[in-house]
Chain A
Protein backbone atom coordinates (compact mmCIF):
# COMPACT_ATOMS: atom_id res chain seq x y z
CA UNK A 1 0.00 0.00 0.00
CA UNK A 2 1.46 3.29 -1.01
CA UNK A 3 1.52 5.38 2.16
CA UNK A 4 2.25 9.04 1.82
CA UNK A 5 4.17 10.05 4.86
CA UNK A 6 3.04 13.49 5.88
CA UNK A 7 5.25 13.55 8.90
CA UNK A 8 4.23 14.16 12.44
CA UNK A 9 2.09 17.22 13.12
CA UNK A 10 4.31 19.20 15.47
CA UNK A 11 4.17 22.20 17.73
CA UNK A 12 5.67 25.29 16.18
CA UNK A 13 8.74 26.97 17.61
CA UNK A 14 6.89 30.14 18.48
CA UNK A 15 4.69 28.48 21.01
CA UNK A 16 7.79 26.95 22.55
CA UNK A 17 9.81 30.06 23.04
CA UNK A 18 6.90 32.36 23.75
CA UNK A 19 7.17 34.45 26.90
CA UNK A 20 5.20 33.54 29.93
CA UNK A 21 2.14 35.79 29.51
CA UNK A 22 1.69 34.57 25.97
CA UNK A 23 1.99 31.00 27.14
CA UNK A 24 -0.62 31.67 29.75
CA UNK A 25 -3.00 32.95 27.10
CA UNK A 26 -2.20 30.03 24.82
CA UNK A 27 -2.79 27.54 27.60
CA UNK A 28 -5.98 29.29 28.55
CA UNK A 29 -7.20 28.96 24.99
CA UNK A 30 -6.19 25.34 24.74
CA UNK A 31 -7.76 24.51 28.01
CA UNK A 32 -11.25 25.60 27.10
CA UNK A 33 -11.44 24.48 23.49
CA UNK A 34 -10.64 20.83 23.61
CA UNK A 35 -11.92 19.30 20.43
CA UNK A 36 -12.45 15.77 21.47
CA UNK A 37 -12.17 12.64 19.40
CA UNK A 38 -13.98 9.77 20.99
CA UNK A 39 -12.24 6.50 20.50
CA UNK A 40 -15.36 4.62 21.47
CA UNK A 41 -14.68 0.96 21.84
CA UNK A 42 -16.94 -0.59 24.40
CA UNK A 43 -19.28 0.08 27.30
CA UNK A 44 -17.49 3.23 28.33
CA UNK A 45 -18.30 4.76 24.96
CA UNK A 46 -21.95 4.77 25.96
CA UNK A 47 -21.09 6.69 29.10
CA UNK A 48 -19.02 9.03 26.99
CA UNK A 49 -22.05 9.66 24.80
CA UNK A 50 -24.14 10.14 27.92
CA UNK A 51 -21.64 12.76 29.06
CA UNK A 52 -21.98 14.61 25.81
CA UNK A 53 -25.75 14.61 26.05
CA UNK A 54 -28.00 17.16 27.65
CA UNK A 55 -27.90 15.79 31.17
CA UNK A 56 -24.16 16.18 31.65
CA UNK A 57 -23.18 18.23 28.63
CA UNK A 58 -19.43 18.63 28.63
CA UNK A 59 -19.61 21.45 26.12
CA UNK A 60 -20.13 23.52 29.25
CA UNK A 61 -16.52 22.80 30.05
CA UNK A 62 -15.29 23.64 26.59
CA UNK A 63 -15.04 20.10 25.34
CA UNK A 64 -16.36 20.01 21.81
CA UNK A 65 -17.35 16.59 20.52
CA UNK A 66 -17.64 17.58 16.88
CA UNK A 67 -14.12 16.83 15.71
CA UNK A 68 -14.57 15.35 12.24
CA UNK A 69 -11.61 13.11 12.78
CA UNK A 70 -8.38 12.73 14.68
CA UNK A 71 -6.62 15.27 12.50
CA UNK A 72 -8.82 18.02 13.89
CA UNK A 73 -8.83 16.90 17.50
CA UNK A 74 -6.88 17.96 20.56
CA UNK A 75 -8.06 15.34 22.94
CA UNK A 76 -8.59 11.65 22.44
CA UNK A 77 -10.75 9.83 24.91
CA UNK A 78 -10.04 6.13 24.73
CA UNK A 79 -13.16 4.59 26.15
CA UNK A 80 -13.32 0.87 26.17
CA UNK A 81 -11.35 -2.28 25.77
CA UNK A 82 -8.37 -1.97 23.49
CA UNK A 83 -7.81 -5.34 21.91
CA UNK A 84 -4.60 -6.42 20.30
CA UNK A 85 -6.32 -6.33 16.96
CA UNK A 86 -7.45 -2.77 17.52
CA UNK A 87 -4.17 -1.53 18.99
CA UNK A 88 -2.53 -0.53 15.68
CA UNK A 89 -5.53 1.61 14.83
CA UNK A 90 -5.40 3.37 18.20
CA UNK A 91 -1.73 4.11 17.75
CA UNK A 92 -2.22 5.25 14.21
CA UNK A 93 -5.07 7.58 14.94
CA UNK A 94 -3.17 9.04 17.87
CA UNK A 95 -0.26 9.81 15.61
CA UNK A 96 -2.54 11.62 13.22
CA UNK A 97 -3.58 14.10 15.87
CA UNK A 98 -1.84 17.46 15.79
CA UNK A 99 0.21 18.52 18.76
CA UNK A 100 -0.41 19.48 21.48
CA UNK A 101 -2.52 16.40 21.98
CA UNK A 102 -3.94 14.88 25.09
CA UNK A 103 -5.29 11.48 25.93
CA UNK A 104 -7.79 10.53 28.58
CA UNK A 105 -7.99 6.87 29.37
CA UNK A 106 -11.59 6.34 30.34
CA UNK A 107 -12.44 3.23 32.29
CA UNK A 108 -10.78 0.16 33.68
CA UNK A 109 -10.33 -1.57 30.32
CA UNK A 110 -8.26 1.19 28.79
CA UNK A 111 -6.46 1.87 32.06
CA UNK A 112 -5.01 -1.59 32.34
CA UNK A 113 -7.21 -4.25 30.83
CA UNK A 114 -9.78 -4.19 33.61
CA UNK A 115 -12.14 -7.15 33.61
CA UNK A 116 -10.17 -8.69 30.79
CA UNK A 117 -6.85 -8.62 32.58
CA UNK A 118 -6.26 -12.32 31.86
CA UNK A 119 -7.62 -12.39 28.35
CA UNK A 120 -5.39 -13.56 25.57
CA UNK A 121 -6.36 -10.82 23.18
CA UNK A 122 -6.75 -7.64 25.19
CA UNK A 123 -4.09 -4.96 25.44
CA UNK A 124 -3.43 -4.35 29.10
CA UNK A 125 -3.85 -0.65 29.08
CA UNK A 126 -3.80 1.92 26.35
CA UNK A 127 -0.76 3.52 27.96
CA UNK A 128 1.28 0.75 26.41
CA UNK A 129 0.49 2.33 23.06
CA UNK A 130 0.12 6.04 23.61
CA UNK A 131 1.01 8.36 26.49
CA UNK A 132 -1.97 9.00 28.69
CA UNK A 133 -2.54 12.25 30.54
CA UNK A 134 -5.46 11.44 32.79
CA UNK A 135 -6.73 8.09 33.95
CA UNK A 136 -10.39 7.98 34.88
CA UNK A 137 -11.24 4.97 37.04
CA UNK A 138 -14.53 3.13 36.84
CA UNK A 139 -16.13 0.28 34.99
CA UNK A 140 -17.66 2.19 33.37
CA UNK A 141 -17.02 5.49 35.13
CA UNK A 142 -20.09 7.58 35.64
CA UNK A 143 -20.39 10.65 33.41
CA UNK A 144 -19.48 12.98 36.25
CA UNK A 145 -16.24 11.05 36.61
CA UNK A 146 -15.37 11.90 33.02
CA UNK A 147 -16.19 15.53 33.73
CA UNK A 148 -13.87 15.36 36.70
CA UNK A 149 -11.18 13.83 34.50
CA UNK A 150 -11.63 16.66 32.03
CA UNK A 151 -11.29 19.21 34.82
CA UNK A 152 -8.07 17.58 35.93
CA UNK A 153 -6.79 17.65 32.37
CA UNK A 154 -7.62 21.33 32.12
CA UNK A 155 -5.65 21.99 35.27
CA UNK A 156 -2.76 20.15 33.76
CA UNK A 157 -2.95 22.12 30.55
CA UNK A 158 -3.09 25.38 32.46
CA UNK A 159 0.11 24.60 34.28
CA UNK A 160 2.14 23.15 31.49
CA UNK A 161 4.72 24.48 29.14
CA UNK A 162 4.83 23.02 25.68
CA UNK A 163 8.53 23.52 25.40
CA UNK A 164 9.07 21.08 28.19
CA UNK A 165 6.36 18.79 27.04
CA UNK A 166 7.69 18.32 23.57
CA UNK A 167 11.14 19.79 23.47
CA UNK A 168 14.38 18.35 24.73
CA UNK A 169 14.74 18.07 28.43
CA UNK A 170 15.37 21.48 29.86
CA UNK A 171 16.80 22.40 33.25
CA UNK A 172 13.72 24.46 34.06
CA UNK A 173 11.34 22.37 36.11
CA UNK A 174 7.99 21.76 34.61
CA UNK A 175 5.19 23.34 36.53
CA UNK A 176 3.29 20.23 37.41
CA UNK A 177 -0.11 20.71 38.90
CA UNK A 178 0.11 19.15 42.27
CA UNK A 179 -2.49 17.20 44.05
CA UNK A 180 -1.89 19.18 47.22
CA UNK A 181 -2.36 22.57 45.62
CA UNK A 182 -5.53 21.57 43.86
CA UNK A 183 -8.58 23.13 45.45
CA UNK A 184 -11.07 20.56 46.58
CA UNK A 185 -13.99 20.34 44.28
CA UNK A 186 -17.19 21.97 45.50
CA UNK A 187 -18.97 18.69 45.01
CA UNK A 188 -16.99 17.19 47.84
CA UNK A 189 -17.32 20.14 50.11
CA UNK A 190 -21.04 20.35 49.79
CA UNK A 191 -21.71 16.72 50.42
CA UNK A 192 -22.70 16.20 54.03
CA UNK A 193 -20.17 14.50 56.18
CA UNK A 194 -20.99 10.88 56.79
CA UNK A 195 -19.79 9.32 59.93
CA UNK A 196 -18.29 5.90 59.55
CA UNK A 197 -20.13 3.12 61.31
CA UNK A 198 -17.44 2.73 63.92
CA UNK A 199 -15.40 5.81 64.65
CA UNK A 200 -12.99 4.00 66.91
CA UNK A 201 -9.84 5.98 67.27
CA UNK A 202 -9.74 9.63 68.16
CA UNK A 203 -6.79 10.49 66.01
CA UNK A 204 -8.82 10.58 62.82
CA UNK A 205 -9.11 13.94 61.11
CA UNK A 206 -12.22 15.85 61.96
CA UNK A 207 -12.62 17.63 58.68
CA UNK A 208 -14.08 15.75 55.76
CA UNK A 209 -11.40 14.36 53.54
CA UNK A 210 -11.43 15.76 50.11
CA UNK A 211 -11.53 13.52 47.11
CA UNK A 212 -8.10 14.68 46.19
CA UNK A 213 -5.32 12.40 47.24
CA UNK A 214 -3.85 13.37 50.52
CA UNK A 215 -0.19 12.86 50.75
CA UNK A 216 0.31 11.13 54.02
CA UNK A 217 3.89 11.34 55.14
CA UNK A 218 4.26 7.61 55.47
CA UNK A 219 3.15 7.11 51.89
CA UNK A 220 5.96 6.73 49.46
CA UNK A 221 6.12 9.72 47.16
CA UNK A 222 4.29 9.40 43.92
CA UNK A 223 6.06 9.38 40.67
CA UNK A 224 5.30 12.45 38.60
CA UNK A 225 3.59 11.60 35.35
CA UNK A 226 6.05 13.50 33.23
CA UNK A 227 9.47 12.24 32.28
CA UNK A 228 11.40 12.34 35.51
CA UNK A 229 14.51 13.88 34.01
CA UNK A 230 12.69 17.10 33.21
CA UNK A 231 10.82 17.45 36.44
CA UNK A 232 13.10 15.93 39.00
CA UNK A 233 14.22 19.34 40.15
CA UNK A 234 10.82 20.08 41.47
CA UNK A 235 10.36 17.10 43.63
CA UNK A 236 13.63 16.03 45.10
CA UNK A 237 12.06 13.05 46.77
CA UNK A 238 10.49 11.72 43.59
CA UNK A 239 11.34 8.11 43.22
CA UNK A 240 9.46 5.43 41.39
CA UNK A 241 7.29 3.60 43.78
CA UNK A 242 7.30 -0.15 43.62
CA UNK A 243 3.87 -0.85 42.30
CA UNK A 244 2.00 -3.77 40.91
CA UNK A 245 2.22 -2.37 37.42
CA UNK A 246 5.15 -1.20 35.40
CA UNK A 247 5.22 2.56 35.06
CA UNK A 248 3.29 3.71 32.03
CA UNK A 249 5.00 4.54 28.86
CA UNK A 250 6.26 8.02 29.41
CA UNK A 251 7.38 8.67 25.87
CA UNK A 252 6.16 12.08 24.81
CA UNK A 253 5.56 13.31 21.35
CA UNK A 254 6.90 11.42 18.40
CA UNK A 255 8.29 8.04 19.01
CA UNK A 256 12.00 7.62 18.99
CA UNK A 257 12.98 7.11 15.35
CA UNK A 258 15.45 4.45 16.31
CA UNK A 259 12.70 2.47 17.88
CA UNK A 260 11.04 0.17 15.39
CA UNK A 261 7.45 1.17 14.98
CA UNK A 262 5.52 -2.03 15.22
CA UNK A 263 2.16 -0.50 14.74
CA UNK A 264 2.35 0.94 11.29
CA UNK A 265 1.91 -1.41 8.41
Chain B
Protein backbone atom coordinates (compact mmCIF):
# COMPACT_ATOMS: atom_id res chain seq x y z
CA UNK B 1 0.00 0.00 0.00
CA UNK B 2 1.05 3.53 -0.55
CA UNK B 3 2.29 5.53 2.28
CA UNK B 4 1.90 9.11 3.22
CA UNK B 5 5.07 11.07 2.78
CA UNK B 6 6.92 13.29 5.12
CA UNK B 7 8.95 10.58 6.81
CA UNK B 8 12.20 12.21 5.91
CA UNK B 9 12.12 15.01 8.40
CA UNK B 10 14.75 17.63 8.49
CA UNK B 11 15.62 16.92 12.09
CA UNK B 12 17.78 13.91 11.26
CA UNK B 13 21.51 13.58 10.97
CA UNK B 14 22.96 16.30 8.78
CA UNK B 15 23.69 14.98 5.35
CA UNK B 16 21.53 11.89 5.72
CA UNK B 17 19.52 12.90 2.66
CA UNK B 18 22.64 13.04 0.54
CA UNK B 19 23.85 9.71 1.91
CA UNK B 20 20.55 8.10 1.05
CA UNK B 21 20.79 9.37 -2.48
CA UNK B 22 24.27 7.95 -2.81
CA UNK B 23 23.01 4.65 -1.43
CA UNK B 24 20.49 4.49 -4.26
CA UNK B 25 23.22 5.16 -6.75
CA UNK B 26 25.40 2.43 -5.28
CA UNK B 27 22.51 -0.01 -5.27
CA UNK B 28 21.75 0.76 -8.90
CA UNK B 29 25.37 0.19 -9.81
CA UNK B 30 25.02 -3.43 -8.81
CA UNK B 31 21.94 -3.98 -10.93
CA UNK B 32 21.74 -4.92 -14.54
CA UNK B 33 21.59 -2.09 -17.00
CA UNK B 34 18.23 -1.45 -18.60
CA UNK B 35 19.65 -0.10 -21.83
CA UNK B 36 18.39 -1.70 -24.99
CA UNK B 37 21.09 -2.14 -27.62
CA UNK B 38 18.88 -1.00 -30.44
CA UNK B 39 20.84 -1.13 -33.65
CA UNK B 40 22.33 -4.46 -32.65
CA UNK B 41 19.25 -6.01 -31.15
CA UNK B 42 15.74 -5.33 -32.22
CA UNK B 43 13.24 -4.16 -29.64
CA UNK B 44 10.41 -6.48 -28.83
CA UNK B 45 7.36 -4.63 -29.95
CA UNK B 46 3.82 -5.56 -29.05
CA UNK B 47 1.68 -6.60 -32.01
CA UNK B 48 -0.65 -3.65 -31.58
CA UNK B 49 2.19 -1.19 -31.82
CA UNK B 50 1.45 1.44 -34.42
CA UNK B 51 4.56 1.61 -36.52
CA UNK B 52 3.61 1.63 -40.15
CA UNK B 53 0.49 0.88 -42.14
CA UNK B 54 0.56 -2.12 -44.43
CA UNK B 55 -1.77 -2.57 -47.35
CA UNK B 56 -3.12 -5.88 -48.50
CA UNK B 57 -3.94 -4.72 -51.96
CA UNK B 58 -5.92 -7.79 -52.88
CA UNK B 59 -8.51 -6.92 -50.27
CA UNK B 60 -8.93 -3.31 -51.27
CA UNK B 61 -12.12 -2.53 -53.08
CA UNK B 62 -11.39 1.18 -53.54
CA UNK B 63 -14.29 2.17 -51.35
CA UNK B 64 -12.33 5.28 -50.32
CA UNK B 65 -13.56 5.03 -46.73
CA UNK B 66 -10.06 5.23 -45.33
CA UNK B 67 -9.18 8.27 -47.38
CA UNK B 68 -12.39 10.01 -46.40
CA UNK B 69 -12.17 9.25 -42.71
CA UNK B 70 -8.51 10.11 -42.36
CA UNK B 71 -8.24 13.22 -40.19
CA UNK B 72 -5.12 14.22 -42.09
CA UNK B 73 -6.16 13.28 -45.61
CA UNK B 74 -2.85 11.56 -46.00
CA UNK B 75 -4.12 8.62 -48.07
CA UNK B 76 -4.10 9.06 -51.81
CA UNK B 77 -6.20 6.70 -53.88
CA UNK B 78 -6.68 6.71 -57.63
CA UNK B 79 -8.81 4.19 -59.41
CA UNK B 80 -10.68 3.60 -62.57
CA UNK B 81 -13.71 1.55 -63.43
CA UNK B 82 -13.43 -1.55 -65.51
CA UNK B 83 -16.30 -3.30 -67.15
CA UNK B 84 -16.57 -6.93 -66.23
CA UNK B 85 -18.18 -9.00 -68.94
CA UNK B 86 -21.60 -10.09 -67.91
CA UNK B 87 -22.08 -13.64 -66.72
CA UNK B 88 -24.74 -15.75 -68.40
CA UNK B 89 -27.89 -13.72 -68.62
CA UNK B 90 -26.72 -11.03 -66.20
CA UNK B 91 -26.04 -7.38 -66.67
CA UNK B 92 -22.50 -6.24 -67.30
CA UNK B 93 -20.93 -5.01 -64.11
CA UNK B 94 -18.23 -2.53 -63.44
CA UNK B 95 -15.43 -3.07 -61.02
CA UNK B 96 -13.12 -0.58 -59.37
CA UNK B 97 -9.47 -1.10 -60.13
CA UNK B 98 -6.85 0.43 -57.92
CA UNK B 99 -4.37 2.63 -59.75
CA UNK B 100 -2.60 4.26 -56.89
CA UNK B 101 -2.65 3.78 -53.18
CA UNK B 102 -0.21 5.90 -51.24
CA UNK B 103 0.09 6.95 -47.64
CA UNK B 104 2.06 10.01 -46.73
CA UNK B 105 3.78 8.99 -43.53
CA UNK B 106 5.16 12.46 -43.08
CA UNK B 107 1.62 13.60 -42.49
CA UNK B 108 0.08 10.51 -40.94
CA UNK B 109 -0.75 10.89 -37.27
CA UNK B 110 -0.96 7.17 -36.58
CA UNK B 111 -4.48 7.31 -35.22
CA UNK B 112 -5.53 3.99 -36.83
CA UNK B 113 -8.90 5.33 -37.96
CA UNK B 114 -8.28 4.10 -41.51
CA UNK B 115 -7.60 0.60 -40.26
CA UNK B 116 -10.71 0.72 -38.13
CA UNK B 117 -13.02 1.83 -40.91
CA UNK B 118 -11.66 -0.48 -43.59
CA UNK B 119 -14.58 -2.83 -44.23
CA UNK B 120 -12.56 -5.52 -46.00
CA UNK B 121 -9.42 -5.69 -43.86
CA UNK B 122 -7.06 -4.30 -46.40
CA UNK B 123 -5.07 -2.18 -43.96
CA UNK B 124 -3.02 -3.43 -41.02
CA UNK B 125 -0.64 -2.06 -38.48
CA UNK B 126 2.90 -3.26 -38.55
CA UNK B 127 5.24 -2.43 -35.66
CA UNK B 128 8.12 -1.57 -37.99
CA UNK B 129 9.52 1.88 -37.50
CA UNK B 130 12.73 2.00 -39.50
CA UNK B 131 11.85 4.17 -42.42
CA UNK B 132 13.39 7.54 -41.72
CA UNK B 133 14.32 9.23 -44.99
CA UNK B 134 16.60 11.90 -46.37
CA UNK B 135 13.87 13.25 -48.58
CA UNK B 136 10.37 13.92 -47.40
CA UNK B 137 8.94 12.68 -50.69
CA UNK B 138 10.22 9.21 -49.88
CA UNK B 139 7.98 9.14 -46.85
CA UNK B 140 5.02 8.79 -49.17
CA UNK B 141 4.88 5.05 -49.54
CA UNK B 142 3.32 3.87 -52.74
CA UNK B 143 1.32 0.67 -53.02
CA UNK B 144 4.29 -1.61 -53.62
CA UNK B 145 6.03 -0.47 -50.53
CA UNK B 146 2.83 -0.59 -48.51
CA UNK B 147 2.31 -4.11 -49.78
CA UNK B 148 5.76 -5.09 -48.66
CA UNK B 149 5.07 -3.96 -45.13
CA UNK B 150 2.42 -6.67 -45.13
CA UNK B 151 5.15 -9.25 -44.54
CA UNK B 152 5.91 -7.69 -41.20
CA UNK B 153 2.36 -7.61 -39.86
CA UNK B 154 2.13 -9.75 -36.74
CA UNK B 155 -0.98 -11.77 -35.94
CA UNK B 156 -3.33 -9.89 -33.63
CA UNK B 157 -3.12 -10.81 -29.97
CA UNK B 158 -5.85 -12.89 -28.43
CA UNK B 159 -8.39 -10.93 -26.45
CA UNK B 160 -8.82 -11.12 -22.73
CA UNK B 161 -10.75 -14.13 -21.51
CA UNK B 162 -13.55 -11.89 -20.29
CA UNK B 163 -13.89 -10.16 -23.61
CA UNK B 164 -16.89 -10.51 -25.81
CA UNK B 165 -16.37 -12.86 -28.71
CA UNK B 166 -15.49 -10.70 -31.68
CA UNK B 167 -18.14 -10.57 -34.35
CA UNK B 168 -15.57 -11.10 -37.06
CA UNK B 169 -14.71 -14.48 -35.63
CA UNK B 170 -18.19 -15.91 -35.84
CA UNK B 171 -18.59 -14.35 -39.27
CA UNK B 172 -15.37 -15.95 -40.42
CA UNK B 173 -16.42 -19.33 -39.11
CA UNK B 174 -19.63 -19.07 -41.05
CA UNK B 175 -17.65 -18.30 -44.16
CA UNK B 176 -15.30 -21.22 -43.63
CA UNK B 177 -15.49 -23.94 -46.18
CA UNK B 178 -16.77 -21.65 -48.83
CA UNK B 179 -14.41 -21.81 -51.77
CA UNK B 180 -12.60 -18.84 -53.17
CA UNK B 181 -11.05 -16.44 -50.75
CA UNK B 182 -10.12 -13.85 -53.31
CA UNK B 183 -11.05 -10.22 -53.12
CA UNK B 184 -14.69 -9.78 -52.46
CA UNK B 185 -17.02 -6.96 -53.35
Q: Do chains A and B touch in the complex (CB under 8 A)?
A: yes
Q: Interface of A with B (CB < 8 Å)?
A: 54-57, 60-61, 108, 111-115, 117, 125, 127, 132-139, 141-142, 144-145, 147-149, 151-152, 156, 177, 179, 185-188, 190-191, 193-198, 200-201, 208-209, 211-214, 216, 218-219, 222-225, 241, 243-245, 247-248
Asked whether B135 is an interface residue with its Cβ less than 8 Å from the other chain, the reply is yes
On chain A, the residues within 8 Å of B54 by CB distance are 196
CB of B152 within 8 A of CB of A191, answer yes
A224-B135 in contact (CB<8A): yes
What total of A-B pairs shows CB separation below 8 Å? 177
When the two chains form their complex, are residues A108 and B108 in contact, meaning their CB atoms are under 8 A apart? yes
Contact with A along B26-43 (1 / 0, CB 8 A): 000000011111111111
Residues of B within 8 A of A212 (CB): 130
Residue of A nearest to B142 (CB): A219
Contacting chain A: which of B3-11, B99-107, B162-170?
B99-107
Consensus secondary structure, chain A interface? loop
With a cutoff of 8 Å between Cβ atoms, the chain B residues found around residue A56 in the complex are 35-36, 38
| Contact in complex: A225, B144 (CB < 8 Å) | no
Evaluate whether A111 and B139 lie within 8 angstroms (CB atoms) in the complex, with A191-B152, A213-B145 already known.
yes
- From known contacts A186-B40, A194-B154, infer whether A244 and B132 are also in contact, taking CB-CB under 8 Å: no
Main secondary structure of the interface of B (DSSP, over half): loop
Shortest A119–chain B CB gap in Å is 12
Q: Is the CB of A145 within 8 A of B145?
A: no
Decide: A187 and B43 in contact? CB cutoff 8 A: yes
Interface residues of B (CB under 8 A from A): 33-43, 49, 51, 54, 56, 58-59, 71-73, 76, 104-110, 121, 128-140, 142, 144-145, 148-155, 181-182
With known contacts A147-B39, A194-B155, A135–B72 Cβ distance under 8 A:
no
CA distance A171 to B8 in the complex (A): 70
Query: Which of the residues B42, B58, B72, B135 comes within 8 Å of A200, measured between beta carbons?
Result: B58
Q: How far is the CA of A139 from the CA of B43 in the complex (A)?
A: 19
Closest Cβ of chain B to A248, distance in Å, is 5
A61 to B35, CA, bound (A): 13
Q: Is the CB of A196 within 8 A of B150?
A: yes
Chain B residues within 8 Å of A200, by CB: 58, 182
Least CB separation from B110: chain A residue: A139
Which 5 A-B pairs give the minimum distances between C-beta atoms? A187-B42, A211-B130, A149-B132, A111-B106, A225-B134
Contact, CB under 8 Å: B130 / A248: no
**Residues in A whose Cβ lies below 8 Å from that of B153:** 194, 196-197
Known contacts A111-B107, A148-B129; A134/B134 CB under 8 A = yes
Which residues of A sit under 8 angstroms from B135, Cβ to Cβ?
135, 222-225, 248
28 residue pairs A–B, Cβ–Cβ below 8 Å: A55-B35, A57-B35, A112-B106, A114-B107, A115-B71, A117-B72, A117-B73, A117-B107, A125-B136, A135-B133, A137-B131, A137-B139, A142-B49, A144-B43, A145-B129, A149-B132, A156-B134, A179-B138, A186-B41, A187-B39, A187-B41, A188-B42, A188-B130, A200-B58, A200-B182, A208-B152, A218-B144, A225-B134
